[in-house]
């Protein structure tokens, strides 16, 4: 099946009206909007981290740090311009323009931090990137906890709630599209060569450090975008939302989906975000009384963990391995011409 259609504007033109209709249809469903927005943010995080860990073959475990940079930068920017209206624009349009600028600003600042962190560490091989990114994530969290202007441990309040289902899932779709276009490009083939054998790729003339840094910057940018969107639909952001545990949740998503598989990262991000909430609903549906409901709800996370362990035992390469969803479809063979 030809996939040339993803190289033009057609995917955006198809998805945009669908998301617009969905956003309009769910206006009066706040819990659905919140859960769908959290899922969309996790999709962005998983797909962007897959660019580094899956496609390039590196190992980053500090993605929540870049998410935090984007969240606080965009949140602070929006809060500072909360009462500003752009000239010659209606208030609603002005607010969305400022929101868009804030999201891009958060992504760009996260990309800058990604460049500063990645440039020295990606010159090395092995687990050095994991150690550096782990340290970066903890440094960011401690810095946020001790900065008065950012609310310290209590977090940043008063951020205008301007995000929407359309904004989150459009950003998720663009992240997926960029990841797929990277893989299908000459740049992507160089990244795959680095993943398979970095020494051989370097011997063939591939600038391994340059390609790895660029992949890391792109991944950091989208993590910052995810954080910026997150900051605009939650009442308050605080350092506890961007801990090492959050980084490991994202790593689990891409490992469970298959390192290098974009569709695997998307599918497992959706499943692993919705599964705990679904388990909560199932386990507490028949419980009577608050205490019993709370005790039953405590079974939710052990069941969630057992499910992940079972997946890794039964499918250690992840759901899709390095393949994509469409690679599982049977391909029609061309008919042989008559002699």
| Residue 90 main-chain phi, psi, to 5 deg | -60, 160
DSSP code at position 157:
-
Of the candidates 97, 106, 56, 78, the one whose C-alpha atom is nearest the C-alpha of residue 221 is: 106
pLDDT at 269 (0 to 100):
94
What ranges do the domains of the chain cover? 4-242
> SS3 for 156?
strand
Is it the case that residue 121 has pLDDT exceeding 50?
yes
What is the C-alpha R_g of the chain?
A: 21
**Distance, C-alpha 304 to centroid of its chain:** 20
DSSP 266-281: HHHHHHHHHHHHHHHH
Name the pLDDT band for 1 (thresholds 50, 70, 90): very low
Burial 239-277 (b: 16+ CB within 10 A, else e): bebbbeebbebbbbbbbbbbbbbbbbbbbbbbbbbebee
Give the containing element (helix H, strand E) for 257.
helix 244-257
Name the pLDDT band for 333 (thresholds 50, 70, 90): low
pLDDT at 222 (0 to 100):
97
Is it the case that residue 7 has pLDDT exceeding 70?
no
Strand partners, 237: 156
Q: What is the pLDDT of residues 204-256, one digit of tens each?
A: 999 999 999 999 999 999 999 999 999 999 989 999 999 998 999 999 999 98
Report whether 251 contacts 53 (CB < 8 A).
yes
Q: Which of 3-7, 108-112, 298-302 has the highest mean pLDDT?
A: 108-112
Q: What is the pLDDT of residues 174-187, one digit of tens each?
A: 999 999 999 989 99
Structure tokens given for 6: 């993803």
DSSP code at position 185:
S
Measured at the CA of 282, the angle between CA 277 and CA 284, to 5 degrees, comes to: 95
N-term to C-term CA, the chain: 26
Name the pLDDT band for 123 (thresholds 50, 70, 90): confident
In sign, the C-alpha dihedral spanning 134, 135, 136, 141 is positive
Is it the case that residue 83 has pLDDT exceeding 80?
yes
DSSP code at position 184:
T
Residue that wins the pLDDT comparison between 120 and 292: 120
pLDDT at 178 (0 to 100):
94
For helices 186-196 and 165-183, angle between their N-to-C axes, nearest 10 degrees = 70
Name the pLDDT band for 4 (thresholds 50, 70, 90): low
Q: What is the pLDDT of residues 146-169, one digit of tens each?
A: 999 998 989 999 999 999 999 999
The residue written with tokens 């599209």 in the block is 177
Residue that wins the pLDDT comparison between 29 and 277: 29
> How much of the chain exceeds pLDDT 90, in percent?
58
DSSP 200-226: HHHHTT--HHHHHHHHHHHHHHHHHHH
DSSP code at position 56:
S
pLDDT at 2 (0 to 100):
45
Instruction: List strand residue ranges (DSSP E) for 141-195, in order.
Output: none
Measured at the CA of 102, the angle between CA 96 and CA 106, to 5 degrees, comes to: 150
Name the pLDDT band for 325 (thresholds 50, 70, 90): confident
| Residue 123 main-chain phi, psi, to 5 deg | -75, -15
Range scoring the smallest mean pLDDT among 125-139, 269-283, 287-301: 287-301
The whole-chain average pLDDT of the chain stands at: 87
Return d(Cα 38, Cα 281) in angstroms, integer: 17
Name the pLDDT band for 280 (thresholds 50, 70, 90): confident
pLDDT at 313 (0 to 100):
84
Of the candidates 325, 327, 58, the one whose C-alpha atom is nearest the C-alpha of residue 218 is: 58
């Amino acid at each position: 099946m030809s996939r040339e259609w993803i190289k033009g504007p057609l995917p955006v033109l198809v998805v945009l009206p669908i998301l617009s209709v969905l956003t309009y249809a769910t206006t009066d469903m706040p819990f659905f909007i919140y859960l769908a927005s959290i899922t969309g943010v996790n999709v962005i995080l998983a797909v962007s981290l897959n660019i580094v860990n899956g496609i390039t073959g590196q190992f980053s475990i500090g993605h929540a740090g870049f998410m935090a940079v984007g969240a606080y930068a965009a949140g602070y920017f929006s809060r500072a311009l909360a009462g500003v209206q752009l000239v010659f624009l209606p208030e609603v349009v002005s607010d969305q323009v400022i929101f868009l600028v804030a999201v891009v600003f958060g992504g760009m600042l996260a990309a800058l931090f990604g460049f500063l962190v990645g440039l020295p560490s990606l010159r090395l091989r092995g687990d050095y990137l994991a150690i550096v990114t782990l340290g970066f994530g903890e440094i960011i969290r401690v810095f946020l906890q001790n900065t008065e202007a950012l609310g310290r441990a209590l977090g940043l309040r008063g951020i205008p709630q301007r995000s929407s289902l359309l904004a989150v899932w459009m950003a998720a779709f663009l992240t997926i599209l960029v990841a797929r276009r990277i893989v299908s490009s000459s740049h992507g083939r160089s990244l795959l060569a680095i993943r398979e054998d970095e020494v051989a790729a370097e011997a063939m003339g591939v600038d391994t450090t340059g390609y790895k840094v660029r992949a890391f910057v792109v991944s950091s940018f989208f993590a910052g975008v995810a954080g910026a969107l997150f900051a605009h639909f939650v009442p308050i952001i605080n350092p506890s939302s961007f801990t090492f545990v959050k980084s490991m949740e994202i790593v689990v998503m891409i490992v469970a989906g298959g390192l290098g598989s974009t569709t695997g990262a998307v599918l497992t991000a959706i499943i692993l975000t919705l599964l705990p909430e679904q388990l909560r609903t199932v386990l507490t549906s028949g419980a009577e009384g608050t205490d019993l409901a709370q005790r039953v709800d405590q079974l939710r996370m052990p069941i969630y963990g057992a499910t992940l362990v079972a997946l890794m035992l039964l499918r250690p390469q992840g759901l899709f391995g390095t393949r994509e969803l469409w690679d599982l479809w049977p391909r029609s063979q061309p008919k042989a011409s008559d002699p």
